Amino acid sequence: MLAPIVMSEITEDHQTVTIRPPELGLGLQGRIQVPGDKSISHRALMLGSIAQGETQIEGLLLGEDPQSTAACFRAMGIEISALNSQQVRVQGLGLGQLQEPSEVLDAGNSGTTLRLMLGILASHPGRFFAITGDRSLRSRPMSRVVDPLGTMGASIWGRKGGTLAPLAVQGKVLRPIHYQSPIASAQVKSCILLAGLMTEGKTTVTEPALSRDHSERMLQAFGAELSVDPETHSVTITGPATLRGQSVVVPGDISSAAFWLVAGAIVPGSNLLIENVGVNPTRTGILEALDLMGAQVALENQRLVAGEPVADLRVQTSALKGCEIQGDLIPRLIDEIPILAVAAVFATGKTTIRDAAELRVKESDRIAVIASQLNRMGATITELPDGLEIIGGTPLVGTDVDSCTDHRIAMSLSIAALNASGATIIHRAEAAAVSYPNFLDTLREICKL
217 binds ligand SPQ (CB under 6 A): no
Under rule CB under 6 A, residue 284 binds ligand SPQ = no
Candidate list 49, 204, 276, 435; residue touching ligand SPQ; CB under 6 A: 435
Establish if 362 lies at the interface with ligand SPQ (CB under 6 A): yes
Question: Between 314 and 407, whose beta carbon lies closer to ligand SPQ?
Answer: 407
Q: How far is the CB of 176 from ligand SPQ (least distance, A)?
A: 21
Residues 6+ apart with CB under 8 A from 117: 46, 69, 72, 105, 107, 131
C-beta of 88 vs 420, nearer to ligand SPQ = 88
Q: Is 330 in the site for ligand SPQ (CB under 6 A)?
A: no
Stretch 407-426: interaction string toward ligand SPQ, x if CB under 6 A: -x------------------
Question: Which is closer to ligand SPQ, CB of 212 or CB of 217?
Answer: 212
363 binds ligand SPQ (CB under 6 A): yes
Which residue lies nearer to ligand SPQ by CB, 288 or 400?
288
Tell me if residue 335 is catalytic. Answer: yes
Would you say 110 or 414 has its CB closer to ligand SPQ? 110
Count the site residues for ligand SPQ by CB under 6 A: 18
Cβ closest to ligand SPQ, residue 141 vs residue 422: 141
Site for ligand SPQ contains 213 (CB under 6 A) = no
Rounded to a whole number of angstroms, the minimum distance from the CB of residue 44 to ligand SPQ is: 12
Q: Whose CB is nearest to ligand SPQ?
A: 111
Of residues 15, 112, 317, 412, which one binds ligand SPQ by CB under 6 A?
Answer: 112
Shortest CA distance to 111 belongs to which of 85, 81, 134, 137? 137
Which of 59, 111, 252, 398 is in the footprint of ligand SPQ by CB under 6 A? 111
Asked if 69 interacts with ligand SPQ (CB under 6 A), we say: no
CB of 111 to ligand SPQ, least distance (A): 3
CA distance 416 to 61: 25
Least Å from the CB of residue 211 to ligand SPQ: 6
Considering the complex, state which of residue 187 and residue 351 has its C-beta at the smaller distance from ligand SPQ: 187
37 lines the binding site for ligand SPQ (CB under 6 A): no
Q: Which of 15, 18, 39, 123 binds ligand SPQ (CB under 6 A)?
A: 39
Q: Smallest gap, in angstroms, from Cβ of residue 331 to ligand SPQ?
A: 6
Q: Are 19 and 424 in contact (CB under 8 A)?
A: yes
**Residue 233 makes contact with ligand SPQ by CB under 6 A:** no
CA 220 to chain centre: 22
Task: Out of 194, 334, 432, 443, point to the residue binding ligand SPQ (CB under 6 A).
Answer: 334
Helix ranges, 232-355 (H): 254-266, 285-292, 337-345
Residue with smaller CB distance to ligand SPQ, 254 or 443: 254
Site membership for ligand SPQ, residue 187 (CB under 6 A)? yes
- Beta-strand (E) ranges in 348-416? 350-353, 380-384, 387-391, 400-402
Which of 185, 203, 256, 351 forms a contact with ligand SPQ (CB under 6 A)? 185
What's the CA gap between 414 and 421, in Å, rounded?
13
Catalytic annotation, pick one of 65, 213, 335, 402: 335
Helix pair 439-446, 407-417: axis angle to 10 deg: 20
Active site residues: 335
Residues in touch with ligand SPQ (CB under 6 A)? 38-39, 110-112, 185-187, 190, 211-212, 334-335, 358, 362-363, 408, 435
